[in-house]
Structure 1
Amino acid sequence: MADRHSVLFVCVKNGGKSQMAAALMRHRAGESIEVHSAGTHPGDAVNGLSAQVIEESGGSMADQHPKLIDEGLLRRVDRVVVLGSEATVDPIEGMAGSIEVWSTDEPSARGIDGIERMRLIRDDIADRIDALIAELTGPAVPVVRVYEPALCCNTGVCGPELDDDLVRFTADLDHLQNQGADLQRHNLANDPTAFTADPAVADFLRVAGSAGLPLTTVDGVTVVTGRYPSRAELTRFAAITSSSKLPTGVTDLGLTASTPRGGCGPDAEAGCC
């Protein structure tokens, strides 16, 4: 499967915790994540109790065996997860991903041993696996793009008169970007390649011309034409579920009551600054 995330789980012997983590991720993530495990000082066999509790959870460690960390694999995976404090993995040159350490539960410190110890370790690792899967394969952020007509200034405050739609849109866009939205605007005057690079946008211009702009797309699909999207529409398009109320007026643009109406100083009446 193309563009899969990849994870390497590591412990000392690669017979217990790292094998359990790999088996749990294979079971819960399926083919969506490429999974590996290895040891810093591999043992001779997989731990029997580890394999047993994984079987109880629906996973499998069958056909697995301890193996040493492969440097090429270490270099290319997206995430290296070290389980426990005994193993140490140092970064190497050219690593594509990051290294993190999971300080896993150790029930033996509380006098719990045998199969019950292994079940508690499994459950602790399973919770961490679920969180990592959600992080790596969570829903993609929608890509929202707004294609504007040729503007000398896209804030709406640099001509002799305020453009209320532009002022409002600029404030909404800045706020939603701060909320994590993948939301960008492209001006035909200073970013024409953005219009030609997207076939749908280029086709739109050929049919409707610049008079049909603004044009808003979500993941490449046209959703609004001929006007700027509203705050509610932008929030929905960007899949922002919790957004604080935006201030009214033009405060997000840093304007004050003493700012000239044109927004660009005493010469604003002469035209766009």
Structure 2
Amino acid sequence: MADRPSVLFVCVKNGGKSQMAAALMRHRADGSVEVHSAGTRPGDAVNGLSAQVVEEVGASMAGEHPKPIDENLLRRVDRVVVLGTEAAVDPVEGMAGSIEVWTTDEPSTRGIEGVERMRLVRDDITDRVDALIDELSRHTAPVVRVYEPALCCNTGVCGPDLDDELVRFTADLDHLRSRGADLQRHNLANDPTAFTTNTAVADFLRIAGSAGLPLTTVDGVTAVTGRYPSREELVRFAGVTSSTALPTGVTDLGLTSSAPTGGCSPDAGTGCC
């Protein structure tokens, strides 16, 4: 389950709302989400009423205790959720995810206290947790990024001669994107920021130089260097499967096996893109 999305819930003391959210997320997500909680100023113990009301719906805070924010955890999780407006979490350099604030229901402003108050807080947090689970489940496809050298254009049909490998790669990429794959390509000529802001890519470029490109990463891990990934590799990296039999003469991605003809050649009057 190493590819599970991850969430860090934060409140001030990490004894009440953030612990409730974490317990409810563990219960509702049933292991599909990596769950953590922490406090900006951790208290001494978990709130007893909070533990009681989550147990009423089958969740549990057993074995949990207030703890401070781990900066390494803050940097790597996919989502940081701050419960309430009293706690504040500042982003750190290299964060993989985003920070959001849940302004949760506060029944005490309506004169509701005790266990009834806590049940209403629990129900509000439960609705928010369910919505977050739905959101995260839609964004669990592998993240594939291809970092290319400086190209006149990246279609493979820019110039007098076709670049068959680039034509094939472009077609495969477009097809997989149409099937929901999270695939992006970055050209050193027109998107240098993508290279400089990614530490792993910047280090690769510093050591190997542009001659080492293309570089393909999957969820931030280097997968292929010095060439474009093959069709089979792209399918595997993107986590896309097909159960539909394809007609004769069509590849396993639904693409014709023959390369397109023509290009933006000088003879065509278009020159280089």
Would the TM-score normalized by the shorter structure come out above 0.5? Answer: yes
What is the deviation of 1:178?
Answer: 8.2
Partner of 1:241: none
What is the deviation of 1:77?
Answer: 1.4
Could you tell me how far apart the structure 2 residues matched to 1:27 and 1:72 are?
Answer: 25
- From the superposition, tell whether residues 8 and 178 of structure 1 become closer, same or farther in structure 2 (CA, over 3 Å): same
Name whichever of 48-57 and 2-11 sits farther off: 2-11
Question: What is the aligned residue count?
Answer: 204
Deviation readout 1:220-262 (Å, 9 max, x if unpaired): 6564244569xxx99xxxxxxxxxxxxxxxxxxxxxxxxxxx9
Could you tell me how far apart the structure 2 residues matched to 1:97 and 1:140 are?
Answer: 13
Partner of 1:69: 69
What is the deviation of 1:176?
Answer: 11
Structure 2 residue 138 is the aligned partner of structure 1 residue 116: no
Structure 2 residue 12 is the aligned partner of structure 1 residue 12: yes
Partner of 1:85: 85
SS at match of 2:85: coil
**Percent of residue pairs bearing the same amino acid type:** 69
For residues 180-195 of structure 1, the aligned pairs below 5 Å read none
What is the deviation of 1:96?
Answer: 1.8
Using the size of structure 2 for normalisation, the TM-score is: 0.57
Could you tell me how far apart the structure 2 residues matched to 1:180 and 1:35 are?
Answer: 26
Please point out which of 231, 246, 254 is paired with 1:224: 246
What is the deviation of 1:182?
Answer: 6.2
Could you tell me how far apart the structure 2 residues matched to 1:103 and 1:59 are?
Answer: 22
Matched residue type, 1:123:
D
SS at match of 2:30: helix
- From the superposition, tell whether residues 103 and 179 of structure 1 become closer, same or farther in structure 2 (CA, over 3 Å): farther
Which structure: larger Rg?
1
Matched residue type, 1:3:
D
Could you tell me how far apart the structure 2 residues matched to 1:174 and 1:72 are?
Answer: 35
What is the deviation of 1:141?
Answer: 6.4
Q: Give the gaps of 5 or more residues in structure 1.
A: 144-152, 156-169, 185-192, 202-215, 235-261, 269-273
Matched residue type, 1:34:
E
Partner of 1:54: 54
- From the superposition, tell whether residues 95 and 123 of structure 1 become closer, same or farther in structure 2 (CA, over 3 Å): same
Contact 2:43–2:66 (CA<8 Å) still a contact in 1?
Answer: yes
- From the superposition, tell whether residues 9 and 175 of structure 1 become closer, same or farther in structure 2 (CA, over 3 Å): same
What is the deviation of 1:98?
Answer: 1.1
Could you tell me how far apart the structure 1 residues matched to 2:240 and 2:42 are?
Answer: 49
Deviation readout 1:163-186 (Å, 9 max, x if unpaired): xxxxxxx9xx989968967699xx
Structure 2 residue 94 is the aligned partner of structure 1 residue 94: yes
What is the deviation of 1:42?
Answer: 1.1
For residues 146-165 of structure 1, the aligned pairs below 5 Å read none
Partner of 1:38: 38
Could you tell me how far apart the structure 2 residues matched to 1:141 and 1:8 are?
Answer: 20
SS at match of 1:10: strand
What is the deviation of 1:138?
Answer: 3.5
What is the deviation of 1:97?
Answer: 1.5
Could you tell me how far apart the structure 1 residues matched to 2:4 and 2:141 are?
Answer: 17
SS at match of 2:246: strand
What is the deviation of 1:30?
Answer: 2.4
Matched residue type, 2:246:
V
Matched residue type, 1:9:
F
Matched residue type, 2:88:
T
- From the superposition, tell whether residues 46 and 221 of structure 1 become closer, same or farther in structure 2 (CA, over 3 Å): closer
- From the superposition, tell whether residues 89 and 115 of structure 1 become closer, same or farther in structure 2 (CA, over 3 Å): same
Using the size of structure 1 for normalisation, the TM-score is: 0.57
What is the deviation of 1:112?
Answer: 1.1
Could you tell me how far apart the structure 2 residues matched to 1:82 and 1:219 are?
Answer: 32
